[in-house]
Every structure is written in structure tokens, then in C-alpha cells.
Chains A and B, each alone.
Chain A
């Protein structure tokens, strides 16, 4: 086993942290309307997943695809 693999994993996760924070701040509300106006606790809940699965989410973000358009911000009934 080589330490370089470990370093690669760490680098991947560091990139994940950067992309995730950017996505949570600027991308998520457009990509998934159910996240519009959702609280900081929700954002922290999905953060671990974002850090590991960031390539999928980055692809989604760049593609401009949106889901859950029928949900309006503040509609928390």
C-alpha cells in the first residue's frame, strides 16, 4: 500500500470541500428548488455527501438542470 493513494483521497476531499461550499452558497437553490431558502442545518446535513460525491453535483450544476420547480420558498406547511 502506498501513501500516494491516501494523498489522492485527501486531495479529492479538499476539492470536494471547496466545490461543496460554492454549490451550497450559489448553486443549490437553482438546481433543486426544494432547497431554496432551506436552513443552514439542512445545508450541513448534506455537506458530507457533497464532499464525497461532488463530481456528480458539479455535473448537475454545470448542466443547468433544475428539479422540484413546483415548490415555493417559504412553503413549509
Chain B
């Protein structure tokens, strides 16, 4: 389980993301307050504190929406994977903004009365209170408490000491928090009689998040079915393409004693028999040189894509069919006739190997 603990795991990538998020929050809040202070047709400008409360609240909700989109997006496309490793920092930012919103709202709406602010928060929805009607603030508080517990347990120490299942269950509560917030904002905006823009935008965000989760869920079910179908037909899972060392092979033993060498050349993966035509040398222990699999024993060569020796030679070895699914290579155990051309499987090389990422991604 890794290394001695550090306070915060920063690397160049994370620092860049953190700076970007901080700048966004600053810019968003600034623009929100400045535009809100412009006198409207009715002539009454809102209090700057109220504007700050709204700016922090909406910014926090926006960030949370974004965070919840990262998971499904990363499953739809590898391009979003780097963000997965920054989710933890995004989450702490979201919490800090929520704290600013909560702190200011508590002070502004409940800090000046005779009651303790926290007591005031719970009674203010009664007739005559600050916000008579639906207790939207209590929902906000519930969401805040969930986010508080997520933020204070975000360090790896807690992942290790609470145990992964408990930690994960706690952090899955983010969906409960999100639901509570949707109601908090929609109801709060209705009660404070702002434009219907708020409920509309919140509903829109919610639909995007829910839609993305539904989409990836359905897609994964389709993938699972396909994978099971492949396995039923006897296909064998090999490994993630990134885990094959470049210009080298992994050797896959088949049930009938046959061995297959699965080679990688950059972002291309091809499979051939492990047996050299010359004297049965172990091809899978060789390297790819100029696009040709090169036998470690006496240097005979075969092209990756069709198993034929480059001209003027005409030696042929058997090729195998591969499929890439959910980041995993599958191998058809039925050999093609020697010299059969098979298009190499292509994969996205920019995605790091799982083991190169130090941050735990229990997701």
C-alpha cells in the first residue's frame, strides 16, 4: 500500500488543475457579484452579501455537477480519465465553497436574532420566520454535513483506516447530497422569489448528471453481455494493452497447450503463435524491430500484421484475432491459417497504466 503519508498529494498536473479551479471560482464569484450589483429596472439592487451567498452556492453546485459528470464521462472516453485522478481536489474545493455559502447564510439570515443561529435555522420555516414554508435550509444543511464528512475523510489515511468498503459507502452518499441540493436550490429560489431561471438550471444540471449515469449504465450492460458472449465462445482475456511492454509480448497459454504471443508496437497490438518456424524458438520472448516480430534465437522475422517474413523471405506463421473491450484485450483461441492478415488492435496510448497512478481511485 504505497508510501509514507503526505499532507496533500500534489504533482504538476494536480497543481495545474487546482489553479484552474481556483481561478474559475474567483472569476465566477467576481462576475456574479459585479453584474448583480448593477441597478435593475425596478431600481433595487440586492445586498452584496446576499449576492455573495448566491455566488458561492451556485459555484459550489456547478462544481459538484461537474464532479458527478467526470465518472461517467471517463467511462465513455479515455480522454476524461486524467480528471478522475483530480476528483478529490475538486471535491474539497466544492466543499470549501459550500462552507462559504453556508457560513455567510447562517450569519446573514440567522446571526442577528435573539436565537442561536443554528436553532434559528431550524425554526425559520415556521410562520413568521425568515423563510416561512418549506424547510429548504435544513436540506441544504443535510447536504452540507454529508459533504463535510466526505471532505474530512478525503485523505488516504481515512481510506486505509475506515477500510475501503466503508469509505466508499460514505462517499457514495454524494448522490444523496446532490438530490438534497437540487431540492434546496429549487425550493429556496421559489421561496425567495427569484427568477424561475434557478429551478430550470438546476433541473437541467440534474438531468444531465442522471442522463450520463443512465447512458454509461446501459452501455456497460451491453459491454458485459458482449464480453460474456465472447467468453462463452472461448475467447480469453489477455491484459490491458498498456500493460504489455512496448515492442514486447505477453505469452498466453491456451487450454490445448498451445501458446500465443501478444505483441505491442506503440499503440498497435497483434497476436501470433509463440512458435518460430525456424527451430521452434519462443517468439514471445523476442522484440519488435522495424514492425517485425524478431525471434530471440536466430533472428528470423515476421510482420506483426500477417505473420509473413518480410521479402525476400516467405516464411509464414499463424496469426490470432484480438478484440479490445473495456480496456481489456481478448484473444480468439482459434488460430488463423499461417500468413492470414489481421488488422492490429489500436488503443489510446495517452492513458496511463493503472499502476502509474499513485492516487487511490475507489470508484
Contact = CB atoms under 8 A, between A and B. Distances in A.
Contact of B161 (A36, A52, A57): A57
A18 interface: no
A39 B8 CA distance: 11
Contacts of B152: 48-49, 52-53
B161 A32 contact: yes
Interface in B283-342: none
B4 A53 contact: no
A46 B249 CA distance: 44
A49 B153 contact: yes
Interface residues of B, number: 25
Interface residues of A, number: 33
Contacts of B4: 34-38, 71, 73-76
A62 interface: no
Contact of B162 (A1, A2, A52, A56): A56
Interface in A1-25: 1-3, 6
Nearest to A33: B4
A70 B118 contact: no
Centre residue among B6, B156, B161 by max chain A CB count within 10 A: B161
B161 A42 contact: no
B14 interface: no
A30 to B, nearest CB: 13
B112 to A, nearest CB: 18
A6 B3 contact: no
Contacts of A73: 4
Contacts of B5: 34-35, 38, 42
Interface of B: 1-8, 116, 118-119, 122-123, 148-149, 151-153, 155-158, 160-162
- Top 3 closest A-B pairs, CB basis? A41-B7, A49-B152, A1-B122
